[in-house]
C-alpha cells in the first residue's frame, strides 16, 4: 500500500512525499523528472502549484537549461545539492525567483537533487527556454 492509500484509510485525505512513486510523474527527460501537484482545488488553473523535481547527476538535461517563468517561484532543496546561478543550495535552502527572471543550467551534487518548485499558478509555471531547441525538447517530453 502506498502513502496515499494509507492516508485515506487513516482518514487523513491526501498525503504524500517526494519519494512516492505514485506521484503523477510526467514523462521523464534524459536525467530529470517532474511531478506537478495542485495546491488547492484540482482543475483550478489559478491555484498554486508545486513541482517535485528530481535531477540525477550527470550531463545537463535540456530541461535544466536557462529559462524563465511568468510568475514568481520558490526553489526549495529537499535532498542533495544543486549549483545554480553562482550558488550551491543544500537541503532546507531556497532560491526565490521573481517572474520573468532568467535562470537555470543547474549542476547537481554527486547524488543528484530533489527540490520543490512552487508557483503562484499553473499558467505562469510554464517555462520559456532561451535556447529554441530546449523549448522543443520540453514540448516533446512534457507535451504542449
Q: Dump pLDDT digits (tens) for 105-134.
A: 788 989 999 999 999 888 888 888 888 888
CATH of the domain at 135: 2.60.120.10
What's the whole-number average pLDDT of the chain? 83
Residue 98 in any domain: the answer is yes
The tally of domains found in the chain comes to 1
Residue matched to cell numbers 526565490: 96
Residue 13 in any domain: the answer is no
Question: Whole-angstrom Cα distance, residue 125 to residue 35?
Answer: 13
Half-sphere CA count of 115, side-chain side, radius 13 A: 32
Residue 19 in any domain: the answer is no
pLDDT for position 84: 86
Residue 90 in any domain: the answer is yes
**Phi and psi at residue 18, to the nearest 5°:** -70, -10
pLDDT for position 101: 92
64: domain range?
A: 24-142
Tens digit of each residue's pLDDT (9 = 90 or more) over 13-26: 556 677 787 788 87
Residue 30 in any domain: the answer is yes
Residue 8 in any domain: the answer is no
Give exposure, 75-97, as e/b (b: 16+ Cβ within 10 Å): bbbbebbbebeeeebeeeeebeb
Residue 112 in any domain: the answer is yes
**Considering the entire predicted model, what is its pTM?**
0.81
Tens digit of each residue's pLDDT (9 = 90 or more) over 30-44: 678 888 888 877 778
Residue matched to cell numbers 499558467: 123
Question: Whole-angstrom Cα distance, residue 138 to residue 112?
Answer: 20
Amino acid at each position: 500500500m502506498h502513502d496515499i492509500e494509507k492516508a485515506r484509510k487513516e482518514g487523513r485525505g491526501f498525503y504524500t512525499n517526494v519519494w512516492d512513486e505514485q506521484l503523477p510523474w510526467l514523462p521523464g527527460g534524459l536525467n530529470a523528472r517532474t511531478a506537478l501537484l495542485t495546491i488547492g482545488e484540482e482543475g483550478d488553473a489559478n491555484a498554486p502549484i508545486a513541482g517535485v523535481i528530481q535531477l540525477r547527476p550527470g550531463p545537463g538535461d535540456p530541461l535544466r537549461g536557462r529559462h524563465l517563468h511568468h510568475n514568481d517561484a520558490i526553489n526549495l532543496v529537499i535532498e542533495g545539492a544543486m549549483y545554480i546561478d553562482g550558488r550551491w543550495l543544500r537541503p532546507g535552502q531556497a532560491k526565490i525567483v521573481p517572474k520573468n527572471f532568467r535562470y537555470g543550467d543547474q549542476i547537481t551534487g554527486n547524488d543528484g537533487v530533489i527540490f520543490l518548485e512552487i508557483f503562484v499558478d499553473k499558467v505562469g509555471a510554464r517555462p520559456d527556454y532561451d535556447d529554441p531547441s530546449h523549448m522543443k525538447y520540453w514540448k516533446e517530453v512534457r507535451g504542449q
